[in-house]
Amino acid sequence: QTKNIYRIHILPIFGDKFVDQISPLDCQNFITQKSQTFKNIKQIKSYTSKIFDFAINMNYIDRNPMKNVIMPKIKKTRSDNFWSLEELHHFLDIVKETEPFKHFALFRLLAFSGLRKGELYALKWADIDFDSNLLNINKSLGRIDGKAIEKSTKNESSVRTIYLDDETIDIIKQWRNFYLKEQSQLPLTKLNISNEYMFSYISSNDKIEPLHADYINNVLNRIIKKHKLKPISPHGFRHTHATLMSEIGIVPSNTSKLLGHASSQMTLDVYTHTTKTSEKNSIDKFADYLNKAK
């Protein structure tokens, strides 16, 4: 991720310049322009500044031109990266009817659990208890130089055990049956799949591999484009999950535990949105309360 920050955002501007010829004004213009398109502008400034700090240590320059850059004030806007209940059901119906069952199980679990994409990729069959409907989330899957690597969750609060509804459990059970059929076609069939990833693919050399980083993105974008749906990202399912939980009146503290947030305020600040349904429910409840007081 750090390499990509430099490759995509920093090097195209400063990569071909001598470090001692970059002025504070160059840095100010760079940060001002980047703030219009990049959300975490502090990260961009920090990463760029590290190069100048290293140049100072190597005696190439005397001062860091990034040091006194004025950070632009960024107006916080609510993300539209979520679906309404109707939009979510419409999408899941499309996936169920037109896509492989693996995709239906994958997106159903993503929508009904609020998992991060990396947490979903890291799930193994041992992480789910079909008898008690419990899913254990204790790791994430990332990649370094294209190689899949298991890592810890985003923070301590992200390690959690969540309850899944009966229908989602049944869908995952059906996917397990499909998974076992795929396994049976391999030259070396494994009797125990508990340590295998719940969602994976079989490579050209008959090896089971975890999903590549853009797998969900590619499938989701293809479906959205083909059926002319409102665009959202895979993380939009997490937004949708939190928003609908809020819409039906689930208290923020419970939602934050399910999402693996350190506090309910974080959930309120980042993931919940005011929808037309929640607005109507609020007004109806308020009117009912006032009418009863007559």
- Residue 42 Cα distances to 2, 3, 14, 146, angstroms: 14, 16, 17, 27
Assess whether pLDDT exceeds 60 at residue 276.
no
How far, in Å, are 109, 126, 198 from residue 194 at the CA level? 18, 5, 9
pLDDT value for 108: 95
- Is 23 in a helix, a strand, or coil? coil
Q: Which two tokens stand for residue 129?
A: 């208890």
- Return the pLDDT at 24: 96
pLDDT digits (tens, 9 = 90+) for 172-187: 999 999 998 877 766 6
DSSP element (H, E) containing 200 = strand 200-202
Is residue 47 within 8 Å of residue 7, measured between CB atoms? no
Please give the structure tokens belonging to residue 158: 């992200």
The tokens describing 224, both together, are: 């959205």
- For residue 128 the two structure tokens come to 């789910």
Confidence of residue 215 (pLDDT cuts 50, 70, 90): very high
pLDDT at 260 over 70: no
Contacts of 250 (CB under 8 A, 6+ apart): none
Tell me the per-residue pLDDT of 27-86, one tens digit each, with 9 for 90 and over: 999 999 998 878 789 999 999 999 999 999 999 999 999 999 999 887 766 668 899 999
Confirm if 112 and 245 have CB atoms less than 8 A apart.
no
Going across the sheet that includes 160-163, the strands are 128-129, 134-137, 160-163
Is the pTM of the predicted complex or chain greater than 0.75?
A: no
- How far lies 90's CA from each of 76, 83, 138, 205, 292, in Å? 30, 10, 31, 37, 38
Q: Name the strand (E) or helix (H) holding 281.
A: helix 276-292
- Inter-residue contact 159 to 138 (CB < 8 Å): yes
